[in-house]
Chains A and B, each alone.
Chain A
Amino acid sequence: AQKITQTQPGMFVQEKEAVTLDCTYDTSDQSYGLFWYKQPSSGEMIFLIYQGSYDEQNATEGRYSLNFQKARKSANLVISASQLGDSAMYFCAMRDFMDSNYQLIWGAGTKLIIKP
């Protein structure tokens, strides 16, 4: 069965340091996508970054990058030069492209707190 594991329930990081949020996934399929979302304390779910299983390069979006290691089935989110506004819950999710229901499998999330 497909599964997403986020092993860090919470993290404290000093402002301006880089942050790595862990995500490992389990699937037997070859074609899938990995997503990261941010949920600040205000509650909305914000899409951050996407990585396809066939993408050869790691995805980047501004200060966000995805460290994709396919053989290890990991898709860690890296936030460079963290800011106070990065404090939030972060969710990793996976979609199997053979699933015609377009369903996302979600991790339990990591609560990131940036310290000034």
Chain B
Amino acid sequence: DTAVSQTPKYLVTQMGNDKSIKCEQNLGHDTMYWYKQDSKKFLKIMFSYNNKELIINETVPNRFSPKSPDKAHLNLHINSLELGDSAVYFCASSQARVSAGTQYFGPGTRLTVL
């Protein structure tokens, strides 16, 4: 009964391809996030959705497009992949008034662009 799950765990692809990462949470949370963790382990927020509404949209290339079909799912689509997109992408979820909004993370997706 995984709380926050992501697929795939590993993604290896060529430059220029389009790929998607899926995220699902079964915690009943109302807010979901996408983070990028670079090779130096720095965590950068990319997007956040609250009740399917985009609330955080940091400065990321518009090749990255999130989509939240419902509160339990937040997918990330990346067009025209570039070498610099190689990183670990984490999905997370939280509930605003529960546990001070503690964010719970998925296992991460390691994206390698060749």
Contacts and interface: CB of A to CB of B under 8 A. Distances in A.
Nearest to B95: A102
B48 A47 contact: no
A47 B102 contact: yes
A104 interface: yes
Given A43-B88, A43-B108, A45-B90, A104 B41 contact: no
B102 A35 contact: yes
Contacts of B103: 35, 47, 104
Interface residues of A, number: 24
Interface residues of B, number: 25
Contact of B108 (A37, A44, A100): A44
Contacts of B100: 33, 50, 52, 95, 97
B57 to A, nearest CB: 10
A89 interface: yes
B48 A102 contact: yes
Interface of B: 31, 40-43, 45, 48, 50, 55-56, 88, 90, 92, 94, 96, 99-105, 107-108, 110
Interface of A: 33, 35, 37, 39, 43-47, 50, 52, 89, 91, 95, 97, 100-104, 106, 108-109, 111
